[in-house]
A and B are shown apart, each in its own frame.
Chain A
C-alpha cells in the first residue's frame, strides 16, 4: 500500500473507530432507521393494495424502500458534524498544520464514518429481507450495476456534505445549512417518495441535481426500470456528479481557507 493510501486508510479507520466508540448512537440509528423503514413499508402496502401506482407495485416498492433505507442510513449516519465543528471551533487551524491534503483527509474520514453504518445496514437489510421477502435484482448485470451505484454514493455523499460544511466558513453556523441539505436530499433523492410520483416538471428539477443518484438511480437499476445502456448512463452521470463536486469543493476550499480567522489562542 502506498504511503498516501496508508494515510487515507488510517484516517478512515480512526473515523470508523470514533463512530463505534458511541454504541448507543449505533443502536439508536438502527432502531430509528429500521423503524422508519417499517413505517414506510406499512404505508406503501396500504397505498399499493389496490394495484401499481406510477410504475411501482408492492413487489417493486419493497425493494425500493430497502434501497432507500440503505442509502439514507449511509448518508445520514456519516459524521458531517465532526468536520463542521472543527471549522466552527477553530480546530481547522490544527488540521492545516498537518502534511495532508485537507479535503482528501476529510474524505477518508467521511468514508470511514459511512462504513461504520454497514453493521446497521446489514442488520436492517437482513431483518427486512426476512420480514418482507423483496424481489431480487432484475438481472445479474443489474445487481452488479446497483452495487456500483451504491459504491458511488460514497464520493457523491462526501461531495455534497463537504461542500455544505465548507459553507460554515461564511455562515459561522451549521445547523440550518445541514437541515436544508438533508431536506433537499431526502426530497429530491426519492427517499421520501419515488420521483415517479412527482409532477414531470419537479422530476426535471430533481434530475438537474445530484440528489436522485442516492436512491432513484440504484433502485431504477435494481428493478430493471432502465436497460443496461440506461443504467450505464445513470452511473456515468452519478460519477460525473461525484467528480464535479470533488473539484468544485477544491475551488471552494481554496477560497474558504482565506476566510480562516481563528482569533486568540
Chain B
C-alpha cells in the first residue's frame, strides 16, 4: 500500500492581471482583474514506503507547490492526496506527527535563540522521549557535527550549519515520510557531500523520502526514482537508471593527439562517428552511438589509427537528459 498517493492533484492560484506602468497601476486600483494560474495540473503520484523519490523540474514548474499540497499546507483546488491514509490538509495535525519537512529557503529555527532551544521545543511538540531525543541528537552530532553549533544563536550560523540544524529539526521525531525542498541550496561542496551521505543513510534505514533539488548530483546520489515535472504536469516518472538507459544512447571519447586535430579530415575517415573540436587545438571529441558500437571496438579503431597521446571517456549526465526533457526534445 502506498505511503503517499495523489490523484489528479491540481492547484490553481488567482493572480492580479495588472498592466505595467503608472497607468496600469491606476487602472488596476479602479478595476481589478485577476487571472487564474495553474501551478500543479492534475498530477498522479504514488510512493511506496521506503522509496527515495527525486522531484525535479525547472523554476516555476510547480515543485514547491506540490510539496506544500502533499504536506497539507495548501488545499488542493482539485484532486486528492492521502499520506498514510490521511488527508494532509484536513487532518493536518495528525499528519504532521508522521512527516518531516525541510524548506531549504525557510528556516524552522527560532532566529534569536540557540539551536538547542529550537530542538527542545520540537521535542515537546512531537512528544519525543528524553532517551530518544538524546540518542537522535547524538546521531545527528556524529553525522552532521551538530554539537559544534548547538549553543550558537541561529542567526549567527553559516548557511551550511543552518541547513544541518534545520535537517535535525525536520528529523528529530524520526518521521516515516520526509519532504526535503532544496536541502542543499547555497551550500559548498563539502557540506553537500555530508548532507548527501546523511540522506543516503536515512534512506537505507527505511525512511521514505521525497526530494526536490536543482542539484542533480543530490538526486543521483540519494534517489532511485525520479519524477520530472514541467508546467505543473509530470513529464517523466520512473527509475533514474531507466531514464539514463533509455535516453543516454551516446558516449564520447576525448582524444588528445600529438599535433593539431584536423576535424573535417577525421570525420571523413571515420564517418560512423560524430566529430567535434575539443578545448585545445590537439583535442577532439568523438561521439558514437553506444547501442551500435562497443566502447572497446571504438577505442581499438581510434587508438590503432590515430595513436593519441591521451584519451578519456564520458557519457551524458542525467542533467543533460533532464535539460532535454525540459526543452521538449525527449518524450515520456
Q: Which residues of A contact B (CB under 8 A)?
A: 3, 6-7, 10-11, 14, 17-18, 21-22, 90-91, 93-94, 96-101, 257-258, 260-265
Contact = CB atoms under 8 A, between A and B. Distances in A.
B156 interface: no
A99 B93 CA distance: 4
Given A93-B73, A97-B96, A265 B121 contact: no
B117 A100 contact: no
Contact of A10 (B73, B93, B124): B124
Interface stretch (B64-72, B157-165, B194-202, B216-224): B64-72
Interface stretch (B103-111, B246-254, B290-298): B103-111
23 contacts: A6-B124, A10-B121, A11-B121, A14-B110, A14-B113, A14-B117, A21-B112, A91-B106, A93-B106, A94-B107, A96-B73, A97-B71, A97-B101, A99-B125, A258-B75, A261-B13, A262-B73, A262-B74, A263-B13, A263-B39, A263-B65, A265-B64, A265-B104
User: Per DSSP, are chain B's interface residues mostly helix, strand or loop, or mixed?
Assistant: mixed
B228 interface: no
B27 interface: no
Contacts of A6: 124
A99 B96 contact: yes
**8 A-B pairs with the lowest CB-CB distances in the bound complex, closest first:** A265-B105, A99-B96, A10-B124, A97-B101, A99-B97, A21-B112, A96-B73, A94-B108
Contacts of B117: 14, 17
Contacts of A22: 112
Contact of A260 (B73, B96, B120, B125): B73
A3 B127 contact: yes
Contacts of B64: 263-265
Interface class of chain A by DSSP: loop
A97 B106 contact: no
A97 B72 CA distance: 7
A93 B68 contact: yes
Contacts of A257: 75
B44 interface: no
B92 interface: yes
Nearest to B109: A94
Interface in B34-66: 39, 64-65
Contacts of B108: 94
